[in-house]
């Protein structure tokens, strides 16, 4: 068992300072070697350089742990934000777990309730059965025999959010010197500000309990189960909720389910995503497969509501317009509709003419568009045939980064959740009824409900 993440400012500053120095030295060496390389060797060398920068960044985040490691996970999923070499290294954060020892668990309960966990519950398992970057989960039983899951936040972790975000901004800006694929400074600052805001929400377990209650009261999709929060055994840093019986994706697949079972749960996952976007106007924005339980009765349990996002009607309307035009045959008039939608989303500047939009941006993003819209070109789609996420071509990413003006605040959450959905459906090899997901919203002229 390890200790809680270090929160001392001097220690954290030293870790980030060493990473910055290492990144700077690595960049200088790379630039010097690039001068002597022939043109054919430079792209491969640049890929290796970006991977090394990603390793430097991840080593620093892994030492800092806590919120820094959580940011590593989030950034690894921002496919349109960071180069692939860096994202692949940051993705390691999805598999790093730091369980608390028993004394620190008691410390959290004493601070929150004035009681040890054994006094608050009829039974409390001292060893966690799940752990992540911000906290861990224990099994417990209430006095009335109710089985519950208890999420315990690592002590002191919330105090490091702002300093970690500032440190990460500095690291990313340093890395941008070594890669022409990194976003501009203002986009990095905006993305990190949004991540900081959502991390603060995710560390507030009272907020998560409220989200559990909200979704539990508003979800009308059959087959979806939201665990109930237990108010008396919950606080800002401890969340107790109903325990659900089921398996996560990989253990469930190991049971060798039938194709009918795969299709059933695939449809539930697909319908849950679009029900959240179109009907609820609120998105469960953490797409990790560990946040879903495949239950024996055929229902799908949805866990971890620390990161949710209200989806605006304006965002839905712009996305519906863009997707509808992109699913139609290519033409100047259809691309004009896409351009207007992207203007509404804040993705491009009004100064980008239609001619330049078609000539420069469309060729750069066509592989991504084709991948994104592939399931919607027929009424059913077999996700075992889903094409791989397009490998970014250097010139395409450079073009996008040079043209991109910003992003709608809902877009990173939609993209992240959508990417997670596609990956899970691919792993399930499910065949799903798709069609045009915005069709009902378009026909009713209400792309998303406002809640």
Residues 348, 205: Cα–Cα separation, whole Å:
37
Would you state the pLDDT for residue 340? 97
Residues 91 and 112 in one domain: no
Please say which residue of 171, 195, 219 terminates a domain.
195
Would you state the pLDDT for residue 343? 94
Tens-place pLDDT, residues 60-81: 776 666 676 677 767 776 655 6
Residues 174 and 125 in one domain: no
Residues 304 and 372 in one domain: yes
Residues 86 and 212 in one domain: no
Rounded mean pLDDT, 413-433: 93
Residue 273 lies in a domain: yes
Residues 209 and 190 in one domain: no
Judge whether residue 192 has pLDDT over 90. Answer: no
More confident position, 197 or 209: 209
**CATH number of the CATH domain containing 118:** 3.30.200.20
Give the per-residue SS3 of the chain.
Answer: CECCCCCCHHHHHHHHHHHHHHHHHHHHHHHHHHHHCCCCCHHHHHHHHHHHHHHHHHHHHHHHCHHHHHHHHHHHCCCCCCCHHHHHHHHHHHHCCCCECHHHHHHHHHHHHCCCHHHHCCEECCCCCEECCCEEEEEEECCCCCEEEEEEECCCHHHHHHHHHHHHHHHHHHHHHCCCCCCCHHHHHHHHHHHHHHHHHHCCHHHHHHHHHHHHHHCCCCCEECCCECHHHCCCCEEEEECCCCECHHHHHCCCCCHHHHHHHHHHHHHHHHHHHHHHCEEECCCCHHHEEECCCCCEEECCCCCEEECCHHHHHHHHHHHHHHHCCCCHHHHHHHHHHHHHHCCCCCCCCHHHHHHHHHHHHHHHHHHHHHHHCCCEEEHHHCCCCCCCCHHHHHHHHHHCCCCCCCHHHHHHHHHHHHHHHHHHCCEEECCCCCHHHHHHCCCCCCC
Residues 346 and 449 in one domain: yes
Question: What pLDDT band is residue 2 in, cutting at 50, 70 and 90?
Answer: very low
Report the phi/psi class of residue 353: left, alpha or beta, with left for phi > 0 and alpha for psi in -120 to 50: beta
Residues 325, 341: Cα–Cα separation, whole Å:
10
Tens-place pLDDT, residues 224-267: 999 999 999 999 999 999 999 999 999 999 999 999 999 999 99
Please say which residue of 216, 243, 270 terminates a domain.
243
C-beta separation of 373 from 326 below 8 A: yes
Residues 356, 362: Cα–Cα separation, whole Å:
9
> Whole-number mean pLDDT of the chain?
83
Tens-place pLDDT, residues 385-417: 999 888 666 556 666 766 777 778 899 899 989
Residues 115 and 51 in one domain: no
Judge whether residue 99 has pLDDT over 70. Answer: no
Question: What pLDDT band is residue 282 in, cutting at 50, 70 and 90?
Answer: very high
By CB atoms closer than 10 A (0-12, 13-18, 19+), residue 378 is exposed
Residue 342 lies in a domain: yes
Residues 72, 68: Cα–Cα separation, whole Å:
6
Residues 74 and 213 in one domain: no
pTM of the model: 0.79
Tens-place pLDDT, residues 340-380: 999 999 989 899 999 999 998 999 889 999 999 999 999 99
Share of the chain above pLDDT 90, in %: 47
Would you state the pLDDT for residue 3? 46
Would you state the pLDDT for residue 182? 64
Q: How far is CA 94 from CA 130, 179, 184, 338, 378, in A?
A: 13, 24, 26, 34, 34
Question: What pLDDT band is residue 169 in, cutting at 50, 70 and 90?
Answer: confident
Question: What pLDDT band is residue 449 in, cutting at 50, 70 and 90?
Answer: low
Lowest mean pLDDT of 126-140, 178-192, 211-225, name the range. Answer: 178-192
CA quadruple 135, 137, 141, 146: dihedral positive or negative? positive
More confident position, 170 or 208: 208
Residue 3 lies in a domain: no
Residue 4 lies in a domain: no
C-beta separation of 318 from 347 below 8 A: no
Residues 381 and 267 in one domain: yes
Residues 253 and 128 in one domain: no
Would you state the pLDDT for residue 255? 97
Residue 316 lies in a domain: yes
Residue 1 lies in a domain: no
More confident position, 450 or 179: 179
Residue 323 lies in a domain: yes
Residues 125 and 146 in one domain: yes
Question: If we measure between CA atoms, which residue out of 253, 231, 252, 250 comes closest to residue 242?
Answer: 231
CA quadruple 115, 116, 120, 122: dihedral positive or negative? negative
Instruction: Give residues with Cβ within 8 angstroms of 444, minimum separation 6.
Output: none
User: Domain residues for 344?
Assistant: 245-451
Question: If we measure between CA atoms, which residue out of 316, 244, 307, 304 comes closest to residue 280?
Answer: 316
Judge whether residue 434 has pLDDT over 50. Answer: yes
Tens-place pLDDT, residues 19-57: 666 766 676 676 667 667 777 777 777 777 777 777 777
Residues 74, 87: Cα–Cα separation, whole Å:
10
Would you state the pLDDT for residue 124? 97
Would you state the pLDDT for residue 283? 95
Residues 51 and 187 in one domain: yes
Would you state the pLDDT for residue 1? 44
Overall domain count for the chain: 3
> Cα angle at 215 between 210 and 219, to 5 degrees?
165
């Amino acid at each position: 068992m390890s200790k809680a993440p270090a929160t001392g400012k001097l220690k954290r500053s030293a870790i980030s300072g060493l990473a910055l120095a290492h990144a700077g030295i690595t960049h200088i060496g790379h630039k010097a070697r690039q001068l002597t390389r022939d043109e054919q060797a430079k792209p491969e060398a640049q890929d290796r350089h970006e991977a090394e920068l990603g390793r430097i960044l991840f080593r620093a985040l892994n030492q800092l742990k806590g919120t820094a490691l959580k940011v590593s996970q989030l950034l690894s999923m921002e496919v349109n934000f960071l180069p692939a070499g860096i994202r692949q290294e940051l993705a390691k954060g999805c598999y790093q777990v730091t369980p608390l020892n028993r004394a620190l668990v008691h410390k959290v309960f004493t601070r929150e309730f004035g009681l040890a966990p054994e006094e608050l519950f009829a039974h409390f398992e001292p060893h966690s059965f799940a752990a992540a970057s911000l906290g861990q989960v224990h099994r417990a039983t209430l006095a009335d025999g109710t089985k519950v899951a208890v999420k315990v936040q690592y002590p002191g972790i919330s105090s490091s959010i702002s300093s970690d975000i500032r440190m990460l901004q500095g690291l990313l800006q340093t890395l941008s010197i070594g890669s022409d694929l990194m976003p501009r400074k203002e986009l990095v600052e905006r993305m990190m500000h949004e991540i900081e805001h959502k991390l603060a929400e995710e560390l507030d377990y009272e907020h998560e309990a409220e989200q559990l209650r909200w979704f539990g009261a508003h979800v009308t999709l059959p087959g979806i189960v939201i665990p109930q929060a237990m108010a008396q055994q919950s606080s800002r840093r401890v969340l107790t909720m109903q325990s659900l019986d089921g398996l996560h994706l990989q253990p469930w697949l190991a049971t060798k389910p039938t194709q009918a079972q795969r299709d059933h749960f695939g449809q539930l996952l697909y319908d849950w995503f679009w029900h959240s976007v179109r009907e609820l106007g609120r998105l469960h924005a953490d797409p990790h497969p560990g946040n879903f339980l495949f239950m024996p009765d055929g229902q799908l349990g949805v866990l971890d509501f620390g990161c949710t996002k209200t989806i605006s009607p304006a965002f839905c309307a712009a996305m519906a317009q863009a997707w509808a035009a992109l699913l139609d045959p290519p033409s100047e008039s259809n691309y004009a509709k896409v351009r207007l939608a992207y203007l509404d989303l804040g993705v491009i500047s009004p100064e980008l003419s239609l001619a330049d939009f078609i000539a420069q941006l469309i060729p750069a993003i066509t592989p991504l568009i084709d991948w994104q819209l592939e399931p919607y070109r027929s009424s059913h789609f077999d996700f075992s045939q889903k094409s791989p996420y397009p490998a970014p071509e250097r010139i395409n990413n450079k073009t996008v980064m040079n043209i991109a003006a910003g992003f709608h605040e809902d877009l990173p959450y939609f993209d992240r959740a959508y990417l997670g959905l596609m990956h899970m459906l691919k792993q399930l090899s499910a065949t799903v009824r798709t069609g045009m997901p915005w069709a009902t919203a378009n026909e009713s002229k209400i792309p998303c409900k406002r809640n």
